[in-house]
Amino acid sequence: MISINKTTLAMVFGAGLFAQVNSVSAAAYDWNNVVPVKTPSASNNNGKTVYFDVSHGGVEGNADWVIDGAFSDFADALVQQGYTVKEYRGIDLNNDGAIRFYDDRTGNGAQNEAIITYDAIKGSDVFVLAETNRPFTMSEQAALEQYIAAGKGIFFVADHYDADRNLNTWDATEVFNGYNRSDLSKYNLGGEYGDWRNPKSANAGWLVENFGIRFRFNGVDYKQGVSGVEPSAQTEGITQGVQPILMAAGATLAVVDAQKAKGLVYFSESDNPVKWKHAKDQGLYFGGKAEGPYVAIAKSGAGKAAFIGDSSPIEDASPKYRRQDSGSTKRTYPGWTDAGNAATLAVNIIDWLATPESYQYFDNQNGHNSGFVTPSPMAAQEMSDPNNGQPWGTPASGFNPWDTDTYKNNSFNAPFGDTSTNPDPDPDPTPTPGGTISVTDALATAQGQPVVVIGKVTAAVNGIYGLQLNDLTAQASHIFVKLESAQRADFNPQLNPAILNQNIIVTGMRNRYMGDAGIRYVSDIKIAPTALSVEQALASSTGEAIEVTGRIKSALNGIYALVLEDSNNANFTINIKLESNQRNDFSPQLNPELLNATLTVKGVRDSYMSQPGVRQVSQLSVSGGSTNEPAPGSDSSVAEVLAMSNGEPVTVVGVITRAVNGKYALELRDDNNTQDTVYIKLESSQRNRYSPQLNSNVIGKRLRVEGIKNNYMSHAGVRNVSRLTLLN
pLDDT at residue number 435: 55
Please report the pLDDT score of residue 728 as a whole number. Answer: 63
pLDDT band at 610 (very low <50, low <70, confident <90, very high): confident
Q: Is the dihedral of CA 289, 291, 294, 298 positive or negative?
A: positive
Residue 25 has pLDDT above 50, yes or no: no
**Choice between 428 and 78, residue whose per-residue pLDDT is larger:** 78
pLDDT higher than 80, residue 649: yes
Chain centroid to CA 183: 37
pLDDT digits (tens, 9 = 90+) for 216-262: 999 999 999 999 999 999 999 999 999 999 999 999 999 999 999 99
Given this model, what pLDDT does residue 631 score?
A: 39
Strand positions, DSSP E, 446-540: 450-461, 466-470, 478-482, 503-513, 516-527
The stretch 163-171 carries a mean pLDDT of 89
φ, ψ (nearest 5 deg) of residue 119: -60, -30
Confidence label for 106 from pLDDT (cuts 50, 70 and 90): low
pLDDT in tens, 592-608: 778 888 888 988 899 99
pLDDT in tens, 29-79: 888 888 899 999 888 999 999 999 999 988 998 899 999 999 999 999 999
Q: What is the mean pLDDT of residues 635-651?
A: 88
Report pLDDT digits (tens) over 702-720: 898 988 898 888 889 998 8
- On the question of pLDDT at 311 being above 90, the answer is yes
As a whole number of angstroms, the distance between CA 393 and CA 411 comes to 19
Q: Tell me the C-alpha to C-alpha distance, in Å, between residue 496 and each of 14, 76, 500, 503, 537.
A: 27, 21, 8, 14, 29
The vertex-320 CA angle with 314 and 324, nearest 5°, equals 105
Query: Of 533, 567, 559, 566, nearest to 548 (Cα)?
Result: 533
What domains does the chain contain, in order, with CATH numbers? Answer: 6-383 (3.40.50.880), 437-527 (2.40.50.200), 534-623 (2.40.50.200), 638-726 (2.40.50.200)
Q: Other CB atoms closer than 10 Å to residue 191's CB: what's the count?
A: 10
0.75 exceeded by pTM: no
Q: Is the pLDDT of residue 431 over 60?
A: no
Of 242, 243, 238, the residue nearest 371 (C-alpha): 238
Most confident of 375-389, 422-436, 520-534, 617-631: 375-389
Q: Which long-range contacts (CB under 8 A, 24 or more apart) does 582-591 make?
A: 582/617, 582/620, 583/559, 585/620, 586/562, 586/620, 586/622, 587/555, 587/559, 587/560, 587/562, 588/552, 588/554, 588/555, 588/562, 589/555, 589/558, 589/559, 590/559
144-158 pLDDT, tens digit per residue, is 999 999 999 999 999
